[in-house]
């Protein structure tokens, strides 16, 4: 467990005195992950995704509408996050932007309480707005990592953040599960979204109260607006990124394999419900198992990254993800699906945590938010394409291939979801191959 460091100063690359992060600042940063992981666990993974697909929409069309909802949210974030990242870097207002997006996520998570059977448009709209807040906030949350950790500490600090965050998902899921087991009915499921919104908001308060931004605001030239200056800086970032060839190659590999990661994340509950007949309680227990192994994965891969570096760690975790998806083609029992979920949680957290660490290590000094903006752009593009491709492909296969062959609606839907896993496996495998061409990296100074 991260113990933090004492208050003090260090010298940055430009010769100025840098204030070293305190233990309280790091724990405040960890607690933000604790809160937003509750949103991911309840809304994205265990409860709302299945509730929207099965109850709000119903049938194979539910997968398509869910994939489109995730895709639309990701596309919006992909468009706005690089510009917002550049604006935050220029004005030293990462926390301010983080507050705006976090508030948006919490408010519209609470609004999911009002989504009931047949409210497809409202269910999509409130989720999309909550997801934009959740994903947009991650741009600025990730960009605070260089403010609270030195380059040689980022692997451990990032891993601790993922681990503590995953524990937050476990706690919130436990609260929701206790309510569902005690009180039956769709109303209790909807109340889970109110609980998640409050849990999310309270856990994120310390980062706004205690974490200090180290980036100094720049003086805006006369006659220029912050927005136009940010656009110019963003354009220079795109041009400058070509100088960092290993970063560019890593970004390409990430763009590819993250499609497969997001397919598994956003459709795990739907796969469990349709292919293995999981009810809401079983889905929550399944996701709690995933979250427990995610804690283990975050800690272990944080240590592996610290010892051997980012590339070997990513190769190991991606290889485990390829194995996990491959097993879904041959297992047919609920018990084995839980085992696969445990392995997926361990590996998937490793992929995400190590990827975040690598960006912080290779970003030029003083420009972390810009490069995290590019990282976020690649992530959001694949977050858009991955779930959209999977949802549309699974629905098309069910309705146009398997139903015409005589399968009933449920069997055709299950067959479509399983067949679409080929695309997931392809993205993960290709991303792993591209990663092999990236040489060992170190932080850039230019």
C-alpha distances out from residue 340 to 127, 264, 320, Å? 28, 12, 10
DSSP state for residue 337 in the 8-state scheme: H
Which pLDDT value is given to residue 202?
96
∠ CA 199-131-413 to the nearest 5 degrees? 110
Which has the higher per-residue pLDDT, 58 or 32? 32
Taking the whole predicted model, whether its pTM rises above 0.75 is answered as yes
Tokens 């790091």 correspond to 26
Average pLDDT over residues 22-47: 91
- Token digits for 352? 């995400």
What's the whole-number average pLDDT of the chain? 84
Q: Is the pLDDT of residue 247 over 50?
A: yes
Which has the higher per-residue pLDDT, 248 or 102? 102
Q: Is the pLDDT of residue 320 over 90?
A: yes
For domain 20-216+240-435, give the CATH superfamily.
MFS general substrate transporter like domains (1.20.1250.20)
The tens digit of pLDDT for each residue in 163-184 reads 788 788 889 999 999 998 888 7
On whether the CB atoms of residues 39 and 198 are closer than 8 A, the answer is no
Cα–Cα distance, 46 to 424 (Å, whole number):
20
Q: Is the pLDDT of residue 369 over 70?
A: no
Cα–Cα distance, 352 to 357 (Å, whole number):
9
Which of 89-93, 299-303, 393-397 has the highest average model confidence (pLDDT)?
Answer: 393-397
Confidence of residue 364 (pLDDT cuts 50, 70, 90): low
On whether the CB atoms of residues 14 and 366 are closer than 8 A, the answer is yes
Confidence of residue 367 (pLDDT cuts 50, 70, 90): low
Cα–Cα distance, 338 to 325 (Å, whole number):
13
Average pLDDT over residues 12-30: 72
Q: Is the pLDDT of residue 377 over 80?
A: no
Confidence of residue 366 (pLDDT cuts 50, 70, 90): low
3 SS3 class: coil
C-alpha distances out from residue 379 to 40, 75, 138, 374, 426, Å? 16, 10, 11, 8, 17
- Token digits for 285? 């227990």
Which pLDDT value is given to residue 215?
66
Q: Is the pLDDT of residue 439 over 60?
A: yes
Average pLDDT over residues 210-228: 74
Which of 107-121, 219-233, 391-405 has the highest average model confidence (pLDDT)?
Answer: 107-121
Q: Is the pLDDT of residue 130 over 80?
A: yes
């Amino acid at each position: 467990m991260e113990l933090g460091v004492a208050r003090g100063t260090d010298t940055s690359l430009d010769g100025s005195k840098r204030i070293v992060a305190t233990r309280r600042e790091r724990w405040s940063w960890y607690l933000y992950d604790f809160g937003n992981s509750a949103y991911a666990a309840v809304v994205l993974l265990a409860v709302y995704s299945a509730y929207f697909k099965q109850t709000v929409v119903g049938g194979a069309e539910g997968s398509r509408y869910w994939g489109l909802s995730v895709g639309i949210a990701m596309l919006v974030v992909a468009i706005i996050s690089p510009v917002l990242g550049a604006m935050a870097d220029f004005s030293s207002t990462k926390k301010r932007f983080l507050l705006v997006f976090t508030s948006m996520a919490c408010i519209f998570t609470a609004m999911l309480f009002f989504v009931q059977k047949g409210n497809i448009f409202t269910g999509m709209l409130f989720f999309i707005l909550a997801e934009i807040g959740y994903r947009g906030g991650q741009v600025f949350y990730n960009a605070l990592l260089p403010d609270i950790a030195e380059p040689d500490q980022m692997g451990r600090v990032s891993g601790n953040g993922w681990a503590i965050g995953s524990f937050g998902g476990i706690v919130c899921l436990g609260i929701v599960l206790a309510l569902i087991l005690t009180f039956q009915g769709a109303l209790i499921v909807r109340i889970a979204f109110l609980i998640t919104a409050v849990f999310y908001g309270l856990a994120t308060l310390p980062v706004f109260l205690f974490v200090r931004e180290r980036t100094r605001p720049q003086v805006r030239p006369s006659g220029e607006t912050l927005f136009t200056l940010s656009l110019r800086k963003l354009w220079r970032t795109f041009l400058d990124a070509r100088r960092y060839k290993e970063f560019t190659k890593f970004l390409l590999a990430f763009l590819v394999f993250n499609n497969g990661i997001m397919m598994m994340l956003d459709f795990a509950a739907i796969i469990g419900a349709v292919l293995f007949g999981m009810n809401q309680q079983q889905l929550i227990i399944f996701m709690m198992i995933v979250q427990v192994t995610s804690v283990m994965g975050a800690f272990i891969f944080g240590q592996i990254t610290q010892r051997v570096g980012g590339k070997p760690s990513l190769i190991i975790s991606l290889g485990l993800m390829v194995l996990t998806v491959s097993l879904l083609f041959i297992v047919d029992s609920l018990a084995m699906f839980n085992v696969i979920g445990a392995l997926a949680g361990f590996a998937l957290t490793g992929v995400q945590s190590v990827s975040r660490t690598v960006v912080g290590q290779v970003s030029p000094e003083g420009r972390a938010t810009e490069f995290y903006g590019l990282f976020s752009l690649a992530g959001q593009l694949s977050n858009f394409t991955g779930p959209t491709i999977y949802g549309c492909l699974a629905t098309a296969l069910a309705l146009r291939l398997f139903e015409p062959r005589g399968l009933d609606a449920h069997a055709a839907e299950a067959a479509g979801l399983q067949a679409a896993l080929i695309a997931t496996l392809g993205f993960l495998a290709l991303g792993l191959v591209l990663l092999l061409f990236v040489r060992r990296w170190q932080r850039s100074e230019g």
